[in-house]
Amino acid sequence: MPFGMFRSHYSPILADFGSSGVKLVQTTASELPTVSAAAFVPFSDDLRARPIEERFEFLARELPEVLRENHFRGSRLVLAPFSQHMLVQHVGVPAAEAERAESVIRLQIAIGLGCDPAALVVRTSEVCETTRDGTAKVEHIAFAMSRDDVMRYVELARRTKLNVVGVHGEISALVHAFDHVNRRAEDENISTMYVDLGYGGTKVAICHGAKLVFAKSISIAGRTIDNRLAEIRRCSLSDARTARLAEGIKPIRIGAPAPMNAPAPAASAADGGMAILRAAAAKAEADNAVTAVATTVATERRGPGSAPALGSAIPAGGSNLTNEVRETVESLADELSMCTRYHTALFRDRRIDRVVFLGGEARDTGLCQSLASGLRLPAKVGDPMARFLINGGAPKGLPDPQATHPGWAVACGLASSPTDL
């Protein structure tokens, strides 16, 4: 065995397990971090439709060669699991039980799922003190995962000669992707809504500086839109996706000027879904400053030295979405509006200052324009990968290195996530 002083130490390999495939990144640990290796392992449309066990088998076969060809080093792995393996839920814990909040939350979730509390891995994040039905409570965000599912990733790693040292939900990871942006004391006064537009689902995080205060997973996503388009046009899901992206995307390239937002039209009045958010919306209606105040210019409060990770402002101009998908997109906009209302119910003296769109579907500028208009907030398409690429060249495995990479937010955020498994 070699002496410790002669061992080579590598940063962990970071893996984002998404509905479209697995994104792999390895970064250097320094004040000016770079990406030393990257790769994307896509899932075919057929594989996406099959049981998730088949995706694990596919990855067990493919990952060793992908890691070798793209020059990943070391064996430590930090991952974000498939979204269906991670439950995200807001829980109010009675103030009298605050000292044992995690066990109370674990029990509540286990009862809701009908399982043994010992079968769950639960992490909690305290948000604020609040009052519900006249009872003092402490609001928490809970992230829960089955121990059996955790072991499935550990076994997959073992088969590919890797060692899992961290497991984090997508929402936690994408928030960590902006830790370096929110490190100043005054950044705590900035409220940011991160919207990760994926193909299989949409993840929402609202932060005060770097502190997560709201989290939610929404089922409406790129696949929902494509399913609707395929139904109307009577074509395959793949053809519908190709057509939508061809009609809706206006690519934002690295170095492109950041145009300002045009004045936003009024938000849709449609309402639906999530009873808890309905209740919060009714409770906060009297002073709902978030949706009542229109912001017409996408200002960046950090000034000329804006962080590259915050990306480019949404281009001015109306949305070019077709009427075929407009209803579905408006439903997503309604869900996002209810998220802002829940935030307002918790923090009546805080408004959301900006929205940052992330995820692979954020490349669809028309989609982002429509959602930004509904939220009536200054909006950008984030690019956490830019933080690394400005310090060094892109590795060969990174797709389209000259474009922005909003879909790599979770993978980038895993670089700042704890290795505490």
Give the pLDDT score at 22: 98
Give the pLDDT score at 248: 61
Give the pLDDT score at 324: 81
Give the pLDDT score at 416: 92
Q: Where are the domains of the chain?
A: 86-146, 185-383
What is the residue-level pLDDT of the chain in tens, covering all 421 positions? 444 444 446 899 999 999 999 999 999 988 889 999 999 999 998 999 899 999 999 999 999 999 999 999 999 999 999 999 999 999 999 999 989 999 999 999 999 999 999 999 999 999 999 988 788 999 999 999 999 999 999 999 999 999 999 999 999 999 999 999 998 889 999 999 999 999 999 999 999 999 999 999 999 999 999 999 899 999 988 888 888 877 764 443 433 433 333 333 333 333 333 343 334 333 333 333 333 323 322 333 444 346 889 988 887 655 566 778 888 999 999 999 999 999 999 999 999 999 999 999 998 888 898 899 889 999 999 999 999 999 888 999 999 988 899 999 999 999 999 887 6
Can you give the three-state secondary structure of the chain, one letter per residue?
Answer: CCCHHHCCCCCCEEEEECCCEEEEEEECCCCCCCEEEEEEEECCHHHHHCCHHHHHHHHHHHHHHHHHHCCCCCCEEEEECCHHHCEEEEEEEEHHHHHHHHHHHHHHHHHHHCCCHHHEEEEEEEEEEEEECCEEEEEEEEEEEEHHHHHHHHHHHHHCCCEEEEECCHHHHHHHCCCCCCCCHHHHHCEEEEEEECCCCEEEEEEECCEEEEEEEECCCHHHHHHHHHHHHCCCHHHHHHHHHHHHCCCCECCCCCCCCCCCCCCCCCCCCCHHHHHHHHHHHHHCHHHHCCCCCCCCCCHHHCCHHHCEECCCCCCCCCHHHHHHHHHHHHHHHHHHHHHHHHCCCCCCCEEEEECHHHHCHHHHHHHHHHHCCCEEECCCCHHHHCCCCCCCCCCCCCECCHHHHHHHHHHHCCCCC
Q: Which fold has domain 86-146?
A: Dna Ligase; domain 1 (3.30.1490)
Predicted structure pTM score:
0.84
Give the pLDDT score at 293: 28
Q: Which fold has domain 185-383?
A: Nucleotidyltransferase; domain 5 (3.30.420)
Give the pLDDT score at 419: 87
Give the pLDDT score at 383: 95
